[in-house]
Amino acid sequence: MEGILGRKLGMTQIFTADGATVPVTVVEAGPCVVILRRTMEKDGYDAVQVGLVEAKPPRKVTKPQQGHFKKADVTPMRRLAEFATEPGETWSPGDQVKVSIFQEQEWVDAVGVSKGKGYQGVVRRHGFAGGRSSHGSMFHRAPGSIGGSSYPSRVFPGMRAGGRMGGARITAKNLLVVKVDEEKNLIYLRGAVPGARNAYVALKRAKRG
């Protein structure tokens, strides 16, 4: 199994045996249930669709979704995702996927939606330096020139400017698994994971870790 779904609980720190402090993000990963299996013969690739088991299942489920979950003989779930599998793996609908698929000192990628920052200027959004802060400069946080008057007489597409920041799909690559708590379905990842507290996160085995 390539990955698992979970929720970001927040950040903390843990101490190693030699007394070093390690900043970690705690993710409640799983348990997940296999909903559907994709095969090379039928779908052209090997993967499984899993759903995250939560304390409060959704109350309103459309009829197509009801049939989809009923076919797998599982209760409806809010979050679904597909993860690639090896050709030899035999996963069936109803099987549980737990955080034990990951081991300590393993590298994973975390996929989530970053915090929304709203409309921001070029200084915060793109890291522009801006102008001098002295009195009378009138050029503090402005972007500067965005195109010449005689040529090109227009603004080229893709010019960095102010706009909506955050709220995008972000992948944090090569996060080290510091600790795995199978009883509480918790996984501790070194560093930061995109998203706010209680945001949904997909954890995958790192491809280049």
* Span 152-185, pLDDT tens digits: 999 999 999 999 999 999 999 999 999 999 999 9
Whether residue 144 has pLDDT greater than 70: yes
Mean pLDDT of all residues in 80-106 = 87
Query: If we measure between CA atoms, which residue out of 164, 158, 163, 129 comes closest to residue 143?
Result: 129
The per-residue b/e assignment along 13-39, b for 16 or more CB within 10 angstroms, e otherwise, is eeeeeeeeeeebbbbbbbbbbbbbbbe
CA distance 176 to 159: 36
Confidence (pLDDT) at 209: 63
Query: If we measure between CA atoms, which residue out of 68, 62, 70, 75 comes closest to residue 31?
Result: 75
- Chain mean pLDDT for the chain: 91
Select, from the ranges 53-62, 77-86, 172-181, the one with the highest average predicted confidence (pLDDT). 172-181
CA distance 137 to 27: 48
- Calculate what percentage of the chain has a pLDDT beyond 90: 60
Confidence (pLDDT) at 11: 94
| pLDDT class of 30 with cuts at 50, 70, 90 | confident
CA distance 36 to 91: 9
Mean pLDDT of all residues in 66-71 = 88
Confidence (pLDDT) at 59: 84
Q: Burial, 185: exposed, middle or buried (Cβ in 10 Å; 0-12, 13-18, 19+)?
A: buried
Please, what is the end-to-end C-alpha distance for the chain in angstroms? 17
Q: What is the pTM of this model?
A: 0.84
